[in-house]
């Protein structure tokens, strides 16, 4: 037993140390962050190579360490990281956020398929939990990815080995405590997926695990299962917050909390349970339990754990729920809009304007009287180019800034920007400028998306959800 405890503590320490020092994004499940990314939020390095490498190395250590967490959430994260790394090598996907989100949605289906051996459950999970907008084309891509992942897993035929989980100092401590508490209980010593499979077996087909089917042992088994459920619940609550790769799918089902009550998904759970255990007999009772669980959760106004994690971490995310606002855009917009004139403002004016405002972007208008929208510029890009201009040459405060191109102007070469994109760093190269004029239009979005002030707010919300958080940020910045 001492060796068992020391090994679990060592695995936990190694996993937590690697995550803390090399890849902080490898901690946790990753489901909530991927939901935000699919909604359009940008999290650099979350799907990067180092995050994938560290998570793939530490997840087996966590599984082997004994914490009451699962591998399913991290499997989705790693699958999405692989999809992102491969797709980013092709310009067709790397230059299109919409296509990249389709790839990540399909990858999440593959992650669940690998974790459970459930390709159909993986597709349903990507529809029900991950993506806010789901097309038929994306569904077929998700099904293909899930099917290939499951077939690959079957071909590999990796032998089963016992799984457990852990975290740095706190992870080591929890691993040792889990080992001490769980070792005497027969249902805590085995893998959670295997324990569920045992409980779903028919007694006539070799399902008598340690006298589970013997009536003379019924009270002993009942007490053992009840104790395992209570301990698993307490250990899961404590262990899920450790800074190690950790999932909550199988632990939630193993403690009979029903995945629907934790993740707020229903159809996916039924399909996964069927594909996982092959027990058709219990599909109807499972559906009834899940419907009751969901009804109680909806009545209490409780959201799933992924949504709660998004709120806790402060990530931007629009919920799927439809709301009736009974208002148009003009009723919620601010009137004191900070805008920039397309031409005529000097460097001094721009610097004073930036110092007196805190918004993250500015609409560019024709003049102060007409205020016709012509373009839009991000605050970060404006600050960057102004600083770059001051470093490159002597820039008098009286220099006039132009934000729209004028074909009649010709001058000496100064600089420009190519490849400007919300995800691509700005590359500085030479371009045109005339004496006394600073041309800033290479950094300007010449085709901003604007909406009518009479447009219903519900339509604008649909735009936000379908086109991603990046668009929402720009629209809010445009109208502030």
Q: Where are the domains of the chain?
A: 2-259, 329-479
Over residues 76-100, the mean pLDDT reads: 87
Q: Return all residues near 61 (Cβ < 8 A) that are at least 6 apart.
A: 11, 12, 14, 15, 166
The pLDDT of 351-365, averaged and rounded, is 84
Write down the pLDDT at residue 163: 38
Q: Is the pLDDT of residue 265 over 70?
A: no
pTM: 0.58
Q: Is 461 left (phi over 0), alpha (psi -120 to 50) or beta?
A: alpha
Burial 344-374 (b: 16+ CB within 10 A, else e): ebbbebbeeeeeeeeeebbbbbeeeeeeeeb
pLDDT tier for residue 162 given thresholds of 50, 70 and 90: very low
pLDDT tops 60 at residue 259: no
Q: Taking all residues of the chain, what is their mean pLDDT, rounded to a whole number?
A: 72
CATH class of the domain defined by 2-259: mainly alpha
Mean pLDDT of 290-316: 75
State residue 254's pLDDT score.
47
Q: Do domains 2-259 and 329-479 have the same CATH topology?
A: no
Query: CB–CB of 108/286 below 8 Å?
Result: no
- Taking domain 329-479, whether its CATH number is 3.10.580.20 is answered by yes
> How deeply is 334 buried, as exposed, middle or buried, from its count of CB atoms within 10 A (0-12, 13-18, 19+)?
exposed
Look-up of token digits 């100064």 = 414
pLDDT on residue 237: 61
């Amino acid at each position: 037993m001492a060796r068992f405890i020391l090994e679990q503590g060592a695995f936990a320490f190694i996993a937590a140390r690697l995550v803390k020092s090399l890849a902080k994004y490898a901690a946790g499940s990753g489901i909530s962050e991927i939901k935000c990314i699919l909604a359009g939020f940008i999290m650099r390095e979350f799907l990067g190579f180092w995050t994938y490498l560290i998570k793939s190395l530490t997840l087996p250590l966590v599984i082997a360490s004994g914490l009451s967490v699962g591998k399913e959430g991290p499997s989705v994260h790693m699958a999405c990281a692989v999809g992102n790394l491969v797709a980013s090598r092709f310009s067709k996907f790397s230059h299109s956020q919409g296509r990249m989100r389709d790839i990540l949605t399909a990858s999440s289906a593959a992650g669940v398929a690998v974790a459970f051996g459930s390709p159909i459950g993986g597709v349903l999970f990507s529809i029900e939990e991950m993506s806010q907008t789901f097309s038929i084309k994306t569904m077929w891509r998700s099904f293909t990815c899930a099917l290939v992942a499951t077939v690959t897993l079957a071909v590999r035929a990796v032998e089963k080995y016992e799984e457990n989980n852990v975290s740095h100092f706190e992870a080591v401590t929890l691993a040792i405590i889990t080992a001490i508490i769980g070792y005497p209980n027969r249902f805590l010593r085995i893998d959670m997926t295997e324990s569920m499979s045992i409980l779903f077996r028919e007694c006539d087909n070799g399902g008598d695990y340690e006298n589970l089917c013997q009536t003379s042992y019924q009270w002993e088994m009942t007490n053992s299962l009840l104790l395992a459920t209570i301990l698993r619940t307490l250990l899961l609550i404590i262990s899920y917050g450790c800074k190690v790769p950790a999932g909550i799918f199988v632990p939630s089902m193993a403690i009979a909390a029903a995945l629907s009550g934790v993740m707020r998904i229903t159809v996916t759970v039924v399909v996964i349970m069927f594909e996982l255990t092959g027990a058709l007999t219990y599909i109807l009772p499972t559906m009834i339990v899940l419907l009751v669980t969901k009804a109680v959760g909806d009545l209490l106004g409780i959201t799933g754990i992924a949504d709660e994690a998004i709120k806790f971490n402060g990530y931007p995310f629009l919920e799927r729920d439809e709301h009736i606002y009974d208002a148009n855009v003009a009723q919620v917009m601010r009137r004191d809009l900070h805008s920039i004139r397309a031409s005529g403002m000097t460097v001094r004016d721009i610097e004073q304007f930036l110092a007196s405002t805190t918004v993250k972007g500015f609409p560019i208008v024709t003049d102060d009287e007409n205020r016709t929208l012509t373009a839009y510029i991000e605050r970060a890009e404006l600050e960057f180019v102004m600083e770059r201009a001051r470093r490159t040459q002597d820039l008098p405060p009286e220099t006039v800034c132009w934000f729209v191109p004028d074909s009649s102007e010709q001058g000496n070469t100064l600089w420009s920007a190519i490849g400007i994109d919300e995800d691509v760093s700005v590359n500085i190269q030479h371009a045109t400028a005339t004496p006394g004029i600073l041309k800033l239009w290479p950094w300007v979005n010449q085709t901003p998306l604007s909406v009518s002030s009479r447009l219903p707010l519900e339509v604008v919300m649909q735009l936000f959800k379908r086109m991603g958080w990046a668009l929402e940020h720009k629209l809010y910045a445009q109208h502030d």
